[in-house]
Every structure is written in structure tokens, then in C-alpha cells.
Structure 1
């Protein structure tokens, strides 16, 4: 695997990068840090457009509004805040959570913001008035993730109580409790049709569930350690899992059968994702590298070693033209995919 380092990562924060998200039009990247700051980057040249001190503690989650005019942030100070992307002005501070917010998302229809906290609650906020719509209660431990379905009808949440829950967004009511994991849940993803949800856990497994019934359909158990991240392929036929055991697996989403093993990292993998076209997989690891793989056959294509500490975050832009990563060393790297060797 070639080691690729065309230019160094850019210094963006004086603390670790703790959150990273692209705008929907792919022109901007927002990053948050444990130094309490938020930075917005121009993805064309890896420069900071705007940076400000946003919270009084760690910024754990970021989400752009569907029109990319606003940016929501949440963190350890228990607040959800909304900012003008153009001016950096604070448009709203939404209070109610009593402990750290680790998870936050903006619905695709733009109507709602969801947040999940260590206080065991999930809250829905009106994204126009910034008023609280409802408190979704039921988890019995810290909430680790929230994610909306593509059609904005459902909200999934997971927690340290070993359960995931599905909520009816418009009604603000519980839909299903997904029980079966034997450890803390970390991440989830809806398939493109919003008919299935995949979750991952400390119990070294990923599980696929029916959104309609809450029934467990598949148990994917291919790792020897906690599974930190999980994702459906674009066509929904495969599930990508990334684990603390330093490996990734691509498995059949209907049978659980292993299709490919993606091995090569020398330490735990913190996160992984598919490119928008489904052709590539990117991963971020505690071995201080991000890596690129071919999804079709699991072939390793490149190792990126621009960071000097653990790489905790990696993401493709929605248009697939760039790949960004963030590290505990406070740096951010935005790479143009078309700069990479033609053999990729």
C-alpha cells in the first residue's frame, strides 16, 4: 500500500478534533474540538473560513442544516447551539439536557434537530423556532448516538443500556425497542430504503433490524473486540464494520456471511465509511493513519500519514470529491480524490 502525503494536515485546533462533518454541497467542512472551538473550512484549499469559541467545554457533535445556512453544535456543556454559517452569529441556545451531549443530528427535511445525552434522554427540537418539541424517554443509561432515517420519519437512538430505540418523529412517540446486544451500543445506520437499521456494540457484533417490526434479522459477529462503527453499502447488500481489534469486515447484510476482510491497521480503528458512490472505504485508526480501500475486493489503496497522533474521524464529501480526516493532534486534512494515483 503506497504511503501518500502530498501536503501536511492543517493546524486547526489547539485541542483534539472531536467532531467533523461536511456541508451538503461539499464546499465546507466543519470541525469541533475539545478546546471548545468550531472551525469551518473551505474544502477546495484546506483553509479556515471562520473559527470561533463556541461552547464552554468539548464540542462532541456538529450538523449542517439541509440548506447549509446554519450549523448546529452540541457538547459537554449540555447545550445545543445553532450558528449562522455566513456570519458565525449564534442564532439559538437550546437548553434542557442536564449532562454531556454526545450525539446530535439534523433531519433531512430540515424540520427537527435531535440530541442525545448522558442524562439518558433524547430530545427533539423544532429547527425553525428552536423550541423543544418533546423529550423521548426510555433509555436507562447514557445515549451514545441519534440518527434520522433518510425520509425523516424515524429517529434511532442507542445507549449504554445495551438497547437501541426507534421513535416516530412526527408523533414524538416510541415505535420499537431493539433488544439483543450484550454491550454498550455505539453507532447505527439506516439502509437507503429506511426499511432496515444496523447497530454495533461493545459485544463485538453488529445487528440488522426491521424498522417496521423491530425484529432482529441478522447477527453479524466477525470481530474479537468492540465494534465502533457500522454502515450499509449504497445498495444495502453489505454491512461494513470497524472494530477496536484493528480490523474491518464487509458482510452480507441479509445472511451475515463474511465477504471481505480489510486488515492492515496496526491499532484500533475508530471509524470507517463508504464513499458516496460505494466504490471505496475509508478508515481512521489509533495508528496515526487514515487508509483508503477498494470496496469491491477489499484491496488496500493508500495509507495517509499526515497526522502525528490518533486519527479519530474520517469522512467523504457528499459529492465524493474529497476525503477529510481529523486527529487528536488538532490537525485536519482535506484531500482531493482526483489527486490520487490513477491506479486507484
Structure 2
């Protein structure tokens, strides 16, 4: 069976000769408003042309996958790009997000509320009011507790099953700008405004250690997956790596020069992925004491990093309103997720690595599929063609599309 999908023809601008290059500026003498309108129209036309090219690529890839179907018992599942679900649930910018389980996400905003949101049925399950100012969220590995560090100088720990407050850690007068939990769930790290890091036993809230990590506020923390090393980032633009259980300084760097926004400590216990007030993401190695790789693609500062459960992919959220997914070993960008209305302040992988949860500057949360195939617009273009060509097309509740050969 053959599926015929029309090609999208792209026109190229005609080449300019030397005389055309010397023509007077057509915008000369126009008012600022008119010039801005013309420029906006040109940018819009260029964007539409680029989008058409991307649509063509997606249609071509879809056709390749469909050609492999052998009979009515076989089907392909197509995920739609753009957020699968998005919702504005905060009145102010979101500062942090976290997956509670496979179907419930938590977000905290500058409105000092924590919302539990179910993207599958698009409902706010629970709201915790007046909880934290500029909160930072992290869950225990078993997803039973949600910790929220705040500039109100506490870390509050909530039960994820019923949203009840379990206990509160008082940090003794210093605001909390970052939190992380050890991979075995026994210890929590709090990055403090005074440059210190406190390691606390989660069950007893007893202090395991407190040490000076940076000259300025500690803005980012990350345990390695082994739990043997621990990375800290500061407002002073420095990154330090420590050996555990008793924090011993291994190496550090001040070469980034701008506040550190997010860190990921890799499995080799020596490499750190660093996002700071810059559009690049660097990999810094403690043994070589230098940058050993760079992820390049964002057009704005990168605010958040998240690593997939299998430790192969990196997700980054940026001021440019996009989430990008990277191959960690090769530093190659795999995918760009667009369709967000504001800068991405935080992004997290789900437990199975198939989804991302993000929060932005407009108070909006979004739930994304990692393996995206087509846009909604592409599906609208080809859906009737598929049906006319002898295929069954069925949309599912999880925002995917199942395509199979129709039975005669």
C-alpha cells in the first residue's frame, strides 16, 4: 500500500546582483512604528517558511515509519510536539517543579503556593498555601516526601500521598536557595544564602555537617548517582566538587564568572554539567581542571538542567522559551521543544524518562513528551490523507496518535 503525501515546496529568494546591493534603504524616512511593523512582518514570514520546512521533515519521517507496517495487527504510536498539556496555575513566576509520581507533578511559585497537578486529566489535585518564598523543590528517591527549601530560612517536608506537612527544618536565620537529596534518600543538602551547605539526616533532622562552600549564596547542588561526590555552585560564579561522606574538597573552578543556575554531577564522579547566566552549558572535569565539552544551541541564558533516569540525556530550560534535549556523551542536540509562552525556569524528567515537566515565568506548568514525532498542525494536514489512503487513525488520552492499516 502506498501513502501519497504532497511535498511542501519551498521558494528561495532570487540572487541579488551588485546594483541591487547599492539601492537606497527602502526604510529611510519611515516612522519608527511603520519600520517596526514591516520588520515584524518579515520575521513572521521567515518563521512561517521555517515552520513549513520543519513540517515537511516531520511528514517525510512519518511516511517512512508507515511504510514499515505489514498488516492490520501492527501499528505505530506518534507523539505530538509542543506541550502535551499546559496550564497556568500560578499567579506569579514558577521557581521550581518536581515529579511526585508518574501522574502527579508539583510546582511552587513566587505566589508562595505549591500545587499538585495531574496533567493526564488536567486537574489541580491539591494546593498548599503560604508555604515558601522563592521555593526550591526536590523529592526523595521513593517519592514519598517532597522537600521545599525557601528564603524564609526553612525546608518544609510534605507527604506526597496526602499533602500533609511532616516536619520543618529551621536553618538558623539563613535563606535556602537550593536543595538536593542523596541517592539513597538518607541525607538532604541545603544551599544557604551565607555561602554554607548543610547536610541533614532526613529522618532525624540532625546536622551531619555544615561547611563553607562559596563566597556568595549557594545557588545549585547536585549529588552524583553513586552518592560518592557532590557538586555545589555559587552566586559568585564558582563550582566546587566534594567527596562524601565527610565533605572533603576535591577541586573547584571560578572560570564561569557569572552566577551558577543549575548543576548535574555525572556518574564518573569527576564531571559536572554547569548552567550559568549564559546560553552555553559546559562540562567541567575535576581531574583535568578544565572545560571538556560544551552544549551549544540556546539563544538565551540557561536556568535549569535535568538528567534522564538512564543518565544518557540532558534536558535544559532557557530564557529563550525552549527546552532542549541533548545526548550527554556526544554533546549533540537531539530535540528542541517549543510552544512555551515564557522563559523556562525549571524542568524535570519523569521516573521513566518519557516525559518532562516544566514551569515558566508566566506561572504556567507544562507536560511534554520526550520522543516527539509530529506537530498538531502536521497531523491536521495528513489525517484525512491517512484515512483516504487506507489507515486507521486514533487519538489517545495521553496525546498520542495510533496509526494502523485498515482492515478490508
Q: Note whether the superposition's TM-score is higher than 0.5.
A: yes
Query: Who is 1:210 aligned against?
Result: 285
Query: Who is 1:113 aligned against?
Result: 188
Quick one: structure 1 residues 254 and 302, their matched pair in 2 at CA, closer, same or farther if it must change by over 3 Å? same
The more displaced of 275-284 and 104-113 is 275-284
- Larger proportion of helix: 2
Contact 1:68–1:85 under 8 Å retained in 2? yes
What CA deviation, in whole Å up to 9, does each residue of 1:241-276 have, x standing for no partner? 4443456666665565x5567385686444456666
Matched, 1:145 2:220: yes
Query: Who is 1:21 aligned against?
Result: 98
From 46, 57, 60, the counterpart of 2:135: 60
Contact 2:96–2:109 under 8 Å retained in 1? yes
**Aligned pairs, how many?**
305
Query: Who is 1:33 aligned against?
Result: 109
Query: Who is 2:274 aligned against?
Result: 199
What CA deviation, in whole Å up to 9, does each residue of 1:282-339 have, x standing for no partner? 77666879585766xx977469xxxxxxxxxxxxxxxxxxxxxxxxxxxxxxxx9832
Post-superposition offset of 1:45: 3.7
- Larger proportion of strand: 1
5 Å-filtered alignment, 1:243-282, equals 243-246=318-321, 253=328, 259=333, 262=336, 268-272=343-347
Post-superposition offset of 1:136: 2.5
Contact 1:166–1:176 under 8 Å retained in 2? yes
Contact 1:292–1:301 under 8 Å retained in 2? no
Q: Which runs of 5+ in 1 are unaligned?
A: 304-335
Contact 1:206–1:219 under 8 Å retained in 2? yes
TM-score by length of 1: 0.70
Contact 1:244–1:268 under 8 Å retained in 2? yes
Post-superposition offset of 1:96: 2.4
Quick one: structure 1 residues 9 and 267, their matched pair in 2 at CA, closer, same or farther if it must change by over 3 Å? closer
Contact 1:284–1:291 under 8 Å retained in 2? no
Contact 1:208–1:216 under 8 Å retained in 2? yes
Quick one: structure 1 residues 235 and 26, their matched pair in 2 at CA, closer, same or farther if it must change by over 3 Å? closer
Contact 1:293–1:300 under 8 Å retained in 2? no
